[in-house]
Amino acid sequence: MKRRSFMAAAAASPLLSTVPLATAGAAPDSGTTGSWRTFELATAVNIPANAGATRVWLPLPHDSAYQRVEHVTWNGNAAQLGIYTDIASGVRAFHAAWSDGEPRTVTLTTRVATLDRRSDLRAASTGPIPDDIAKFLKPNAMITTDGIVKETADKIVAGKRDPLQKAQAIYDWIVENTFRDPKVKGCGIGDIRAMLVSGNLGGKCADLNALFVGLARAAGVPARGVYGVRVAPSAFYGAMGTRNADISKAQHCRAEFWVAGIGWIPADPADIRKVVLDDKLALNDPKMPELRRFLFGAWEGNWIAFNHSRDVRLAPSDTVVNYFMYPEGSTAQGPLDGMDPEAAGYKIVVRPVSAT
């Protein structure tokens, strides 16, 4: 049984790693609030011996002002075990590979601390968009910014020049014109052009928040999805958190947009629509304005972020995935369906560690 433990201390290598995953952790900034909460996630993979050649990639949490990775450990019987980085996106993944033989088993354990976020929207100012932020204006395979996406964005933000006002208008439009469709598999795929062309604006978080991101980009506001998993109950509504230790199906995509003077601002219009469906809170309910205000500029630390990239290459291979929020992999029989934990042979369990 191979076992490895890495503490968050030194910088990771640019590509292949048997070194620590993260730096010592970014310091809190004015966009965070409250006390650190710590969670331990254990992802166990068990795939039958007759699967043939098998590869598995598991998403890893990232460090930020609102989240710090405290340590990562793993054990398993794979010939290859390690942390790899997609150079283009900076997304890190734990990778395990087997050839033939015994059942494929590996367990990845990560300990992560989180903070709540709340941006001071009054601090918005004007200024140029830095180069490292401007890349979040660009389209990708599913989040396009031309054609019907641009036309829709222009109508929504007509007469508005201020980026914060544009983002607010797009957020409100998403809340008022989309709906959560429980029939969509997993978190959805986020093909926003198809949504707008068909007129079917139903979906889940990776659809609705991708629509927010694409419309914002088309309106000149940098934006990105943030892909992660719910790990604790919400202080607001049941739909916005989880009370289960088994979080294999608790993945959730949030969103951020960038404004000078503030930086990255959290937003989650998809969770408004989830509360409408699951908690039966109508848009005209007297409680709704407070929730809408909260989810435009804040989010709870009951969720752990993995990354904020689309079209992610899973190193060390040429496999590219739409987004990396679920375990990914393949056997000799074909790709594993990460949106189906039982079929893909994995289970994710969380436990709270402490409040720090």
pLDDT at 340: 97
pLDDT at 87: 87
Per-chain mean pLDDT for the chain: 91
Contacts of 248 (CB under 8 A, 6+ apart): 341, 346, 347, 348
pLDDT at 132: 94
Average of per-residue pLDDT across 16-40: 61
Model confidence at 108, in pLDDT bands (50, 70, 90)? Answer: very high
pLDDT at 31: 87
Q: Is the pLDDT of residue 26 over 70?
A: no
pLDDT at 18: 35
pLDDT at 102: 84
- Residue 29 and residue 62 in contact, taking contact as beta carbons nearer than 8 Å: no
Strand, helix or coil at 310? strand
Q: Is the pLDDT of residue 29 over 50?
A: no
Question: What is the residue extent of each domain of the chain?
Answer: 32-116+311-353, 119-304
The DSSP letter of residue 338 is: T
Q: Is the pLDDT of residue 136 over 70?
A: yes
Q: Is the domain defined by 119-304 classed in CATH 2.40.128.20? A: no
Average of per-residue pLDDT across 30-44: 91
First to last CA, the chain: 33
Tell me the C-alpha distance between 135 and 1, whole Å: 42
Contacts of 66 (CB under 8 A, 6+ apart): 28, 31, 32, 114, 115, 116, 117, 301, 305
Average of per-residue pLDDT across 34-56: 95
For tokens 């900034």, the residue is: 29
Hey, what are 318's tokens?
């040429």
Q: Is the pLDDT of residue 174 over 80?
A: yes
Strands 202-203, 179-180: pairing kind: parallel
How many CB atoms sit inside 10 A of residue 142's CB?
19
What amino acid occupies position 229?
V
pLDDT at 100: 79
User: 113-137 burial string, b = 16+ CB within 10 Å, else e?
Assistant: bbbbbbbebeebeeeebeeeeeebb
Tell me the C-alpha distance between 139 and 222, whole Å: 11
pLDDT at 213: 98
Average of per-residue pLDDT across 130-141: 96
pLDDT at 354: 72
For tokens 């079917």, the residue is: 200
Residue of 44, 25, 24, 37 whose CA lies nearest to 94 = 44
**Neighbouring C-alpha atoms within 13 Å toward the C-beta of 293:** 7
- Residue 116 and residue 34 in contact, taking contact as beta carbons nearer than 8 Å: yes
**What share of the chain has pLDDT > 90, as a percent?**
87
Q: Is the pLDDT of residue 30 over 60?
A: no
Average of per-residue pLDDT across 65-91: 94
Average of per-residue pLDDT across 250-276: 98
Average of per-residue pLDDT across 321-348: 97
Residue of 324, 305, 304 whose CA lies nearest to 313 = 324
Average of per-residue pLDDT across 6-22: 34
For tokens 């075990």, the residue is: 81
121 vs 27, higher pLDDT: 121
Q: 175-185 pLDDT, tens per residue?
A: 999 999 999 99
